[in-house]
Amino acid sequence: MKKYDFIIENYSKQKLFSSFLPGIAGKHGIPLWVFYVNRGQCIASFGIENKANSILEFKPATQSYTDTPLKGFRTFIKVNSKYYEPFSELNNFKKIMKISKNNLEIEEINEELGLIVRVIYFVLPNEDFAALVRRLEIENTDENEKHLEVIDGLPEVIPYGVSNGVYKEMGNTARAWMHVYNYEKKIPFFSVRTTIGDLEIVEEINNGYFYFASSENELIDVVYDKNVLFDNLTSLQEAIVFKNGGVKEVLSRKQYDENLLPSAFGVLETNLKDKVVVNSMIGFSKEKELINNRIETLKKDEYILLKKQEADMIVEEIVSDILTKTSNELFNKYCEQNYLDNVLRGGYPLVFNNKNGKIVYHIYSRKHGDLERDYNFFVIEANKYSQGNGNFRDVVQNRRNDVIFHPEIEDFNLSMFMNLIQADGNNPLVVKGTRFKFEGDPSILSDLNDELKEFILNNYFTPGEVLERLKNKDIDEDEFISKILYHSSQHEQAEFGEGYWIDHWTYLMDLVETYKEIYPDKLEKTLFEKYEYKTFDSHAYVKPRKEKYKFYKGKVRQIASVGESHEKLRIIQERGHNYLTDKDGNIYKSNMFEKLLMLAINKFATLDPYGMGLEMEANKPGWNDALNGLPALFGSGMSETFELKRLLSFMYEELKKYDGSIEIFEELYEFIEKINLELDRYFKENDQFKYWDNVSNAKEDYRSKVFFNITGRKRKISKNELLDVFEKMLKKIDEGIKKAKEYGKGVYPTFFTYELVDYEVKDNVIIPKKFEVNVLPYFLEGIVRAFKVIDTDEKKKLYSFVKKSDIYDKKLKMYKTSESILNQPYSIGRIRAFTPGWLENESVFMHMEFKYLLELIKSNMIEEFYEDIKTALPPYMDYKVYGRSILENSSFIVSSANSNLTLHGQGFYARLSGSTAEFLSMWKHIFIGDKLFTIEDGELTFTFNPKLSKEFYENGVIEFKLFSRTLVKYVNPHLKEKIGKIEVFENGTKYEIIGNKIKGELAHKLRNKEIDEIICYFE
């Protein structure tokens, strides 16, 4: 376990799983995406930027498990004329998979031939081109020198310019464009001659995929036409030509360089005494000369070994932020893997100085698309300083703990995601990262070539796009980018995508709370005094009820609830930005409190006809995407109601402490006035339907007013007046929560659907009169969210209920998404069509289960928490049941509700999910405590209040890194509960503190990452 993170013996006979290399090539590298499975030689697919640009065809997991042994990497060996294919499923030699964070190694031991065959894969770091490096080692295990013939590589390479989709649907036709060149230098390039298609504009293609192989620092021969290897054996089961005639026969045959799907094999004939190594690279380069000119370096074994070490170090440096040393080595490594995978969804923050303060830029992020999530279109920018795409909910939740590990980013994430909230309370789905606009003096760019200068001056850009055009390779790239960004403004990039989910906004409060934990002394200023927040503006809108209430098969349904305005889209395109403007075209800017108020009022006005859940008013449900039928059934969710209470309670408490005045744009002011009026009327008349109808009208009126622009006029609202409105809103929410609990027979439901049982039709418009509610079975989600706003006694009762209910999988001792939903109609969504125990239908969805575990430790239910993690966290699981590395999360685990007993407890959908964010929050509570920084007696105060298991101590000591900088050591030989003394080390000076708090100047230094080490002594 020291050299490798996890080892799987006889991997090709174990349960099927897929995973991936992280695609991290360093700040100055060009990443590849690489997926692998535990069959054959593992690499199932890889390529550049997205799955459209596959070098090895992207296929869903089910196909990859079958095809990888034949169409993935292959090695054919003749030892003293005896033919042998290592890693073939047709042999029974011992096979070992060794998984590390940034590389993969497989090994086969052939005692009959006296060989160990080893293959190592990693992505090449910090180069101007992208490559998957493959290192083949053939080791002699006896004293007899052997005559060795080797052919190693890929049977099929999709040439550059042939998209994965084109290849699947018309790969035969696409052969006409394909050709191989540069092979005379033993470095074949694979490309098409021109763009493919019946197009008016035809462009020549100069980019390409390349391949080469070397041994003993020299290039070896290459087979780019697989027919000289397999002849007519199209099944590819054996390299029949090589088997019968050896290397000489293969190389004697004519290879064709066009009109065929090429291959990429290195060919070697030598004598094996101790060990033979074949290094190969396959990847992408913008020009062949880049590889040709570097080949004298690239072909050397020393270079490959140093690059592997460098690749490993890049990732080890990232995960060193969460250095954790307990008695449980598996748990320690699991912490690191979670941190890495969290980075892959949320990005790793880099901080740059800027003329207006600082800029934070996230690299390495990507959407969670893989062989099992074959439906997602991920993007990994094929440039240096690479960033990728993501969905709003995914990115915001996986950045929850950014400020915990990197305090220096301050309120960047808050600003970014607050800016993406729209005037109607919704948000765009697709988040594309950020781009920059140069705003400095053009003379700063005088030393640059004209093409680059023009690009920087006239475009929004990423650092990678700038470096791509930088011709002077002697320039320090980090210094150059820092200089450009210093004079640039940063802009969020997002787009509507599809529909509006009702839960995305709920993760904003997580950002607010973690920011408050680090900067309690700056929260008031950030909330009320910083007028830099913008409002995302979209051409998509939620239709009023009269447009979306439709007849479907004799019943009224809520259908096609989101519209798109071509006129608004034109306006946005003409003005060149996606931000709300006033009537004069100026971007409207507000403080964060106003943004939160705008959000809260919109969501409050979306309470369902019974005042319980938040309506699924815009085509999409909440976290549980598979309940996609609920919006049509007038569905609503209690989870979001609990989150709304959390938001309003926060705003209420912060407003009470604030002494200044509140100003808001007049349309929002008028909306609040109408809400207040309807609340007063409701508390007098107690007519819930009338209240809902009137508030819905007010919401629709407000949204129509702000759709194109706002007046820009401000209205003052007194602190006491707004506090009074908050109190009424909270009272109304509490009433709805109480009612929901009654419908849930003492337990909070998560979802409702409604049937419109009384209505009238006037001028083809359906006017609602009365709804009847239907309560869905219990889901874990609503209970998890309730934990955030209920008291301790109720939490313990809920915990007891869940343990006894069918939400708890008593066989696996894990928590499922819900009870059985088999009594529900198919109309609730695809979830009902899924097999029980699979995907969202009654499986153990790790993200939601982890949310529940987090609430337990936050609620100081410590015994319950540590009891549950022993069966819920992968490092405590049995690998043979879990079916993949127990250092990695899955998206879901098949529960015992599934009919296939052999699948129970097995994890599916690798790694990237919100579970990593939940675990990092657990890690914070376990090792540090509930609240990090607070203000006590006017002083910034840091408190250590860990919730540790005594099992974690190794010889009375636990170590971890705080703020990715300060080494913290807990010394507790007698396993006591409280910290009695702290020693703080800063730049050679030791400070001794009685108790568990660090105050004043030292607390500021700790937050500024100036403290080297802290030792806490328990007594």
Amino acid in the structure at residue 385? Y
Least trusted range by pLDDT, from 269-283, 466-480, 676-690: 466-480
The mean pLDDT of 717-740, rounded to a whole number, is 97
pLDDT (mean) for 188-192 = 96
What pLDDT score does 547 carry? 98
Within 10 angstroms of residue 162's Cβ, the number of other Cβ atoms is 25
DSSP-assigned letter for residue 954: B
pLDDT greater than 50 at residue 242: yes
Min mean pLDDT across 27-41, 60-74, 195-209, 574-588 is at 195-209
3-state helix/strand/coil string of 469-502: CCCCCCCCHHHHHHHHHHCEEEEEEEECCCCECC
- The pLDDT tens digits of the residues spanning 595-614 come to 999 999 999 999 999 999 99
> Residue 422: enclosing H or E segment and its boundaries?
none
CA atoms of 366 and 607, how far apart (whole Å): 34
What are the phi and psi torsion angles at 876 (to 5°)?
A: -95, 0
Q: Are 773 and 767 in contact (CB under 8 A)?
A: no
Residue range 102-118: mean pLDDT, rounded: 97
Task: Report whether pLDDT(378) > 80.
Answer: yes
Query: Does the pLDDT value for residue 180 go beyond 80?
Result: yes
CA–CA distance, 931 with 921 (Å, rounded to integer): 12
Give tens-digit pLDDT for 564-587. 999 999 999 999 999 999 999 999
- Helix, strand, or coil here: 120? strand
> What pLDDT score was predicted for residue 962?
98
SS3 of residue 871 by DSSP: helix
Query: Stretch 482-494: mean pLDDT, rounded?
Result: 95
Q: Residue 492 has what pLDDT?
A: 92
CA dist 890 and 874 (Å) reads: 9
Q: What percent of the chain has pLDDT over 90?
A: 95
pLDDT tens track for 919-939: 999 999 999 999 999 999 999
Q: Is 450 left (phi over 0), alpha (psi -120 to 50) or beta?
A: alpha
Q: Is 1 a residue whose pLDDT tops 70?
A: no
Percent of the chain with pLDDT over 70: 100
Residue 258 pLDDT > 80, yes or no? yes
Q: What kind and span of H or E run contains 551? A: strand 549-552
Please state the length of the chain.
Answer: 1019
What's the rounded mean pLDDT across residues 377-404?
94
* Cβ–Cβ < 8 Å for 803, 856: no
Beta bridge partners of 157: none
**Which region, left, alpha or beta, applies to residue 712 given φ > 0 means left and ψ of -120 to 50 means alpha?**
left
Helices (H), 501-622: 508-518, 523-524, 545-548, 566-575, 592-604
Give the model's confidence band at 2: pLDDT under 50 very low, under 70 low, under 90 confident, else very high.
very low
pLDDT at 3: 67
Distance CA 712, CA 664 (A): 9
Mean pLDDT for 840-846 is 97
Average pLDDT over the chain, rounded to an integer:
96
- Residue 472, Cβ neighbours under 10 Å: how many? 10
